[in-house]
Amino acid sequence: MTIKKYQNILNGSGVDSPHSFESKNPATGETLGLVPHSTAEQVAQAVASARAAQPAWAARPDDERKSMVARVADMISENAQDLARWVTREQGKPLGGVGAGEIPGALFEIAACEAWTRVPAGLELPIEVVFEDDTRRDELHRTPYGVVAAIAPWNWPLMIAIWQIIPAIRAGNTVVLKPSEYTSIGTLELARVISAVLPPGVLNTVTGLGAVGSALVENPDVDKIMFTGSTATGIKIAAAAARNLTPSTLELGGNDPAIVLPDADPHAIAMGLFWGAFINMGQTCACAKRVYVHESLHDALVAELKVLVEAMPMGNGMEPSIAMGPIQNAMQFEKVVALVDSARAAGATIVTGGQAPGTAGYFYPLTLVTDIQDGADLVDEEQFGPALPIIKYRDIDLAVASANRLGAGLGASVWSADTGHAMAVAKRIQAGTVWINQHGAVHPMVPFGGVKGSGWGVEFGVDGLKSVTQTRVISLKK
């Protein structure tokens, strides 16, 4: 059987490359198609195409750009089923659904793509009068950067690509998108859907391994970089950006703490905490990755979580009634295995899970680990997978210190029946977002970004739209 070869989009047309690589289904090992490995010349051509298209795109009336972005949202909705199937086959998350009680899987991701497209389509960036008196008037105008390089990850490959693409083009920038090499086909299909609405050159794609991303971020004609991924890669991108003084938005790794206060109800919070930790098999930057539970509630909460963990069916997400899919790739699978094995060897208790089934695909059971402390690899390293360490604490000051002790600072959560008390604790935690009685609840109108080693800059809402513009002050002498 002939394996289909997919194409990049360059100036509105499909483009092949001399070399390609396979994209595989992490649940079955099946080869899904061949992805072009962009050459250095093609990366340069993509940036040049975006550069050539940008002035005319920025010159369009703002209402026209808003209307076209809204049409992109319509196209995403019209193609939701096909796009969701690509996410499931290539990334691994189950198809799931969108409504209340549905599994937050691939259809959930595509619904988020639509939502994060419609919101920027309706936002305004008006001229701001920042100062005025009898002698002068100073206006702050927002202008696009120019060409935005967007580098998307494999965990939410379409949704996070949308987070990068849509605000950028809405503000008058053009984009060169590099998908993850693990999830390229679905992202290329999304780009094809978007490009059907836009003028040639507004959205271009380049696919390949790390060298392709390096060539993109090092190109001096790139005016802004947007990257979501690991802290280690973010450091390399920041170094490359510094050489050209290229502004960047970096949403990097997280090791989110969740603190359960002694007045919380274990039964009431269990489901929210479960999905806060295990959505997308724990492969989310802002998942709860270490849970600090007051000793008086520890055993009860672990028991509640164990019931939920063991009730979730795992398997190929294309099959009905599946709640959990595989880990997306071998590297991440091996990291989770090593971290759980290390915890077991050090004396931690594996409450449930902890052993790969040995079947086809990168399946690893949802795993709860207790009798573990700060300093253990599973606590201190971002596992980015379905293994959750649960740590007892006695004193809230020590729990807050534990939450703040690591270099990451993306998200965190506090769980309590007393919202006033929870708010007081939340204000002490070093994170870009602290949720109360929820975890990972991002919203397209609410700014999102990290502190410390979790990056800089924000996305979403008006602040996110501002982040893909630069300021121009016009000062008038009266």
The single residue of 109, 251, 382, 459 carrying the catalytic annotation is 251
Determine how many CB atoms are found less than 10 A away from the CB of residue 62: 14
Residue 275 near residue 104, CB atoms below 8 Å? yes
- Active-site residue, from 113, 181, 285, 304: 285
Cβ atoms within 10 Å of 81's Cβ, excluding its own: 11
Cα three-residue angle 318-323-329, rounded to 5 degrees: 70
Q: Residue 98 burial by CB count (10 A; 0-12/13-18/19+): exposed, middle or buried?
A: middle
- The answer to whether residues 189 and 82 touch, using CB atoms and an 8 Å cutoff, is yes
Pairing of strands 203-205, 174-178: parallel
State how far the Cα of 282 lies from the Cα of 335, in Å rounded to an integer.
13
> Per-residue b/e over 241-253, b at no fewer than 16 CB within 10 Å?
beeeebbbbbbbb
Looking at the DSSP assignment, which residues form a beta bridge with residue 192?
Answer: none
Give 466's DSSP letter. Answer: H
User: Can you tell me the distance from the alpha carbon of 35 to that of 188, in angstroms, rounded to the nearest whole number?
Assistant: 9
Catalytic (active site) residue 285:
yes
Contact by Cβ (8 Å): 90, 152: no
Percent helix, strand, coil in the chain, to 5, is: 40, 20, 40
Q: Has 287 been annotated as catalytic?
A: no
Give the other-Cβ count within 10 Å of 462's Cβ: 14
Task: Count CA within 13 A, CB hemisphere, residue 269.
Answer: 28
Angle at 77 between CA 76 and CA 78, to 5 degrees: 90
> In what helix (H) or strand (E) does residue 121 lie, and over which residues does it extend?
helix 106-121
Question: Strand 349-352 relative to strand 288-294: parallel, antiparallel, unpaired?
Answer: unpaired
Beta bridge partners, 317, equal none
CA pair distance 28, 362, nearest whole angstrom: 8
Distance CA 368, CA 161 (A): 31
CB 172 within 8 A of CB 155: no
Tokens 């299909």 — which residue?
Answer: 189
For the chain, the C-alpha Rg in angstroms (whole number) is 23
Tell me the catalytic residues: 251, 285
